[in-house]
Amino acid sequence: MLASAPYLLAVLGIAFAAPQSAPKIKERVHAPRDWINVGAAPTNHVVPLRIALPQSNFQELERHLYEISDPDHARYGDHLTKEEVEELVAPHPDSVHAVNEWLAGHGIPEGDCVRSPAKDWITVHVPVAKAEAMLDTKFHVWKHAKDEDSVVRTTSYSLPEHMHAHIELIQPTTLFNRITGHRATFRFSGAQEEAPAATSGTITANGQEVDASCNTTITVSCLKQLYNAVDYVPAATKKNSIALTGYLNQSANFADLQQFYADQVPAAVNSTFNVTFINGGVNNQTLSAAGAEADLDVQFALGIAFPTPGTFYTTGGSPPFIPDIDTPDDDNEPYTAWLDFVLAQKTLPQTISTSYGDDEQTVPESFAKRVCAGFAQLGARGVSLLFSSGDGGVGDGDPDPETQTCQTNDGRNVTKFIPGFPASCPFVTAVGGTIHIPEVAVDFSGGGFSNYFARPLYQEFAVTEFLTKQLPKGTYEGLFNPAGRAIPDVSGQADNFRIFFRGRAGLIGGTSASSPSFAGFVSLLNDARLSHGLPPLGFLNPLLYTRGVSAFNDITSGNAPGCGTPGFNATVGWDPITGLGTPDFGKLKDIVL
């Protein structure tokens, strides 16, 4: 009797299947401090496994990125298209085939797989029981000691040895990060209900005359005076745009924005911004739901760049998460959800600012590098990405230097300075903070040296100058990685920003303020280039560390303590608290045209 077709197919499938191999540890981490294992995860709880396939030609993408971002290269500004970027990061067909077979072997059909446009990410939603079988591991519920946020995670997972070459990483598995807004502590003050009157000017260190009131209250006018952009009027508003990212259920309030405009940018009254919802993001317009971080971001970035169109990306997938059998999803790492969305778009804003981050060491190195590679793709497409450098000085995310732990999460509990991520990614521009006029480094400005990313070539001269000439030999030896990517790159005013929040005026601060305001000036630079028929700036750092150095106000006073130390000092030239300094828009405009 002839065998049935299904039987023959099954036999052939076994005959031609890839050789199987025993499970081997793919990744292992120590649970970060303050995370407590409270028991086994419910077996029917659904986890969204995001599988990263190796980007087989990423080095070629990186070469393109640096060539088109180098102002002295013939290809400067020749940004890649979406399709060209996707072709460079697409995985090798062998990896696609191997992963497809592995998933099919676990009963996951093609219809259950969600693939990124470049096919370098695959997302599958599976119950914990299946995830444990696929990854030869056990998932547990972990609760954070400080605020009881909960996640379903494991401290290690395995893959068949033959699959290690075809899968770069799988998350959320060992990812325990807790994305936070940087500082952004809003404070009301009766004296701040009315805007301070402009008073006689004071001469700043960079020769600009600025209202004396700017020493205690920062407004859009103050920043334009201080950074030499008072007379610039955007003209490329049909081509140029700026965007802010929002996480943690932060809502940017339209009514607050109108009050802000009436107070500081009267010409902008009745204008607004677009909202893009990603992965269940929210933008609740109930006044009590307004977020101080979101209000700060949109008010100052859009106030500076007006009338440039603006977008607020609101991305869900954030704690708190309470695991139970009715919870369909657990994904408290929103950067990749945001990256998935924006990389799939044909047209993107030329300037994007993010005021959120976490300690670098709470993010597995493999994951940090993969997210950073996503930022490189955006840079190659002509997007300037700015990130707050953090608000803990050289220490961890705790803004109080007296309570920072500053210990490694590798099981050794060694005292180290703690850099922040994503600011430590070499493909973004990290923004530190200053205060007062003349400007000095603000004492919470995050800075230091990455333990994951090597120092990029564009930083070599500036950072070596600091390490060999400005930092006394042996200072903080062993507490930081002198070969690491150094942050911040630049800085800007970071405290006493006057915003409107839930219908009231008040002051707010943090590098959460310096990043969106710096982004506003970058957007004006992009406007200048687009108005002259030139492409946008894209990835900024190679320009800033070469031709751009002369267009920054060098900040040489102040320090940012942390980890029980005074931290680094602001010095002549680049330093790991204010970077290259604060911008002179007029000089930068002349350089980029």
Instruction: Check: CB of residue 407 under 8 Å from CB of residue 33.
Output: yes
Annotated catalytic residue within 86, 263, 293, 330: 293
Query: What pLDDT is attached to residue 324?
Result: 44
Task: Report pLDDT digits (tens) over 292-333.
Answer: 999 999 999 999 999 999 999 999 864 444 444 334 344 455
Q: What kind of fold does domain 190-592 have according to CATH?
A: Rossmann fold (3.40.50)
What per-residue string of b and e applies to 511-534 under the rule 16 or more CB within 10 Å gives b? Answer: bbbbbbbbbbbbbbbbbbbbeeee
Q: Which amino acid is at 475?
A: T
Token pair listed for 225: 């005076």
Residue 503, Ramachandran bin (φ over 0: left; ψ between -120 and 50: alpha; else beta):
left
Pairing of strands 384-388, 429-435: parallel
- Residue 333's closest CA among 168, 181, 179? 179
Q: What is the pLDDT along the chain (593 residues), one digit of tens a residue?
A: 333 333 333 333 333 444 568 999 999 998 887 889 999 999 999 899 999 999 989 999 999 999 999 999 999 999 999 999 999 999 999 999 999 999 999 999 999 999 999 999 999 999 999 999 999 999 999 988 877 778 899 999 999 999 999 999 999 999 887 766 655 555 554 445 566 665 556 777 677 889 999 999 999 999 999 999 999 999 999 999 999 999 888 999 999 999 999 999 999 999 999 999 998 899 999 999 999 999 999 999 999 999 999 999 999 864 444 444 334 344 455 678 899 999 999 999 999 999 988 889 888 899 999 999 999 999 999 999 999 999 989 987 666 666 677 888 877 888 999 999 999 999 999 999 999 999 999 999 999 999 999 999 999 999 999 999 999 999 999 999 999 999 999 999 999 999 999 999 999 999 999 999 999 999 999 999 999 999 999 999 999 999 999 999 999 999 999 898 999 999 999 999 999 999 999 999 999 99
Query: What pLDDT is attached to residue 205?
Result: 65
Instruction: Check: CB of residue 360 under 8 Å from CB of residue 424.
Output: yes
How many Å is the Cα radius of gyration of the chain? 24
Annotated catalytic residue within 512, 514, 517, 523: 512
Catalytic residue status for 297: yes
Query: What pLDDT is attached to residue 208?
Result: 80
Annotated catalytic residue within 120, 297, 358, 439: 297
Task: Report pLDDT digits (tens) over 190-239.
Answer: 445 566 665 556 777 677 889 999 999 999 999 999 999 999 999 999 99
Query: What pLDDT is attached to residue 169?
Result: 96
Cα 314 from Cα 317, distance rounded (Å)? 10
Catalytic residue status for 293: yes
> Which sequence spans correspond to the domains of the chain?
21-56+91-176, 190-592
Query: What pLDDT is attached to residue 322?
Result: 46
Instruction: Please report the beta strands in 43-138, taking only residues with DSSP state E, as ranges in sequence order.
Output: 46-52, 114-115, 121-127
Catalytic residue status for 402: no
